[in-house]
Amino acid sequence: MKENFPDARYLELAEKWLNGTISKEEEKEYADWYNSLSPDEVLEIPANSAVNKEAHRLKLLQKINSKRKARILSLTPKNFYRIAAAVLILLAGGAYLYMRNINSVDSLALKDAKRKSVDIKGGTTGAILTLANGKTIVLDTAGNGRLMSGENAEITKSDGSVAITASATESSQPLEYNLLATPRARQQQLVLSDGTRLWLNAESSIKFPSVFARHQREVEVTGEVYFEVAKDPSRPFVVKVNDASVEVLGTHFNVMAYKNEPALETTLLEGSVRFRKGEKIAVLKPGQQSRLLSNEEIKLVPDADVDAVVAWKNGVQVFDGADLRTIMRQVERWYDVDVEFKGIVPSRTFSGDIPRTANLSEVLQLLEAVGKIHFSLDASKKKLIVMS
């Protein structure tokens, strides 16, 4: 028990474990101590033992649930320092699992990346804007200021966000549509002419007019987009996505419609939306999610984890019981790599939070350490092989 294991000693072993200098005997001692703890026990550590060590950011572990799902905990810089300075949660079984695997795997992704002296960073802000007149603007390299000035509207860029400012609130003329598209490893914020704010995730797009029509506001999207729709009771806001549509007046919601995902998901945070696919309709309340399955059945999830759904917009990738293929699809989009599976894909699931600022090698090291998975990363060719 903890009272028989001096604080100085467990801190010494923790430090050795984090630095990779722990011996086999010390590792066993540390693991035995972990497994003697109560599942709910919280261990206090000095602030300077956590705050000054970036390594802790990807190596804190949370409680493994009753189904033995591995939970990867990686705090964002903002709340990491606040929490890690107060407590370090050490778990029976979970921490030992991490140590055991991290010392037994010969080809950790981090070591592989170091051998190549190349790593892959997470994505950043950027997109390609194609104007109605055919002009293309790469936002990654465009400076702040006016990007386009026309008769009815102008487009400006400021601090990574693009905004449309119209000379009139509505148009009775034929609409001219622009296209904003994010490639892999990019995301972009956009403010439409009616004040609607939205965020595009990687590999996403939105087709939108500079000025909306008189009786309806309509856009078309692919991929994943989070909306904060400006209220206008006289003009419904319609999002066309694949062959379906989401109709709102003023609300906050997320649409995820990647072609390689098993379902088209609409998640409502605030207000009310109507999801429509042909004759099938689902009306959502806050906290609910509609899922359009491959057989075109609409499934309603009454209590969705909305914070997890939109965490990507705030710089965190959240996994909640996600299988490896699901995680790798997100890795492909955010790190701009092609993933290939060799052998039997492990069936275990993962839950936890990973900052989108983490390098790919850091993400792979975590998965490899807790999931009995091996990776081979060729950063120069943007090729990632997953091996069981």
Percentage of residues in the chain with pLDDT exceeding 70? 71
- Whether residues 45 and 180 share a domain: the answer is no
Structural domain for 320, as ranges: 109-120+315-388
Read off φ and ψ for residue 285, nearest 5 degrees.
Answer: -110, 160
- Whether residues 132 and 242 share a domain: the answer is yes
Is the CA virtual torsion 259, 262, 264, 269 positive or negative? negative
Separation CA 1–CA 27 (nearest Å):
17
- Whether residues 305 and 164 share a domain: the answer is yes
- Whether residues 136 and 221 share a domain: the answer is yes
pLDDT band at 25 (very low <50, low <70, confident <90, very high): confident
Report the SS3 class of residue 94: helix
- Whether residues 277 and 368 share a domain: the answer is no
Separation CA 212–CA 209 (nearest Å):
6
- Whether residues 183 and 298 share a domain: the answer is yes
Give yes or no for residue 320 having a pLDDT over 70. Answer: yes
The per-residue pLDDT for range 178-225, each reduced to its tens digit, is 999 999 999 999 999 999 999 999 999 999 999 999 889 999 999 999
- Mean pLDDT of the chain, nearest integer: 77
- Whether residues 132 and 146 share a domain: the answer is yes
Tokens for 305?
A: 């984890």
Residues 6 or more apart in contact with residue 203 via CB below 8 angstroms: 182, 183, 184, 223, 258, 333
Question: The domain that contains 280 carries what CATH number?
Answer: 2.60.120.1440
The per-residue pLDDT for range 69-81, each reduced to its tens digit, is 333 333 333 333 2
Q: How many domains does the chain have?
A: 3
Separation CA 83–CA 87 (nearest Å):
6
* Higher local confidence (pLDDT), 60 or 250: 250
Question: The domain that contains 322 carries what CATH number?
Answer: 3.55.50.30
Give yes or no for residue 108 having a pLDDT over 50. Answer: no
In this predicted structure, what is the pLDDT of residue 200? 98
Closest CA to 360 of 321, 386, 387, 342: 386
Give yes or no for residue 53 having a pLDDT over 60. Answer: no
Separation CA 251–CA 266 (nearest Å):
12
- Whether residues 210 and 323 share a domain: the answer is no
- Whether residues 164 and 288 share a domain: the answer is yes
**Last-in-domain residue among 309, 341, 376:** 309
* Exposed / middle / buried, residue 373 (Cβ in 10 Å: 0-12, 13-18, 19+): buried
pLDDT band at 303 (very low <50, low <70, confident <90, very high): very high
- Whether residues 237 and 189 share a domain: the answer is yes
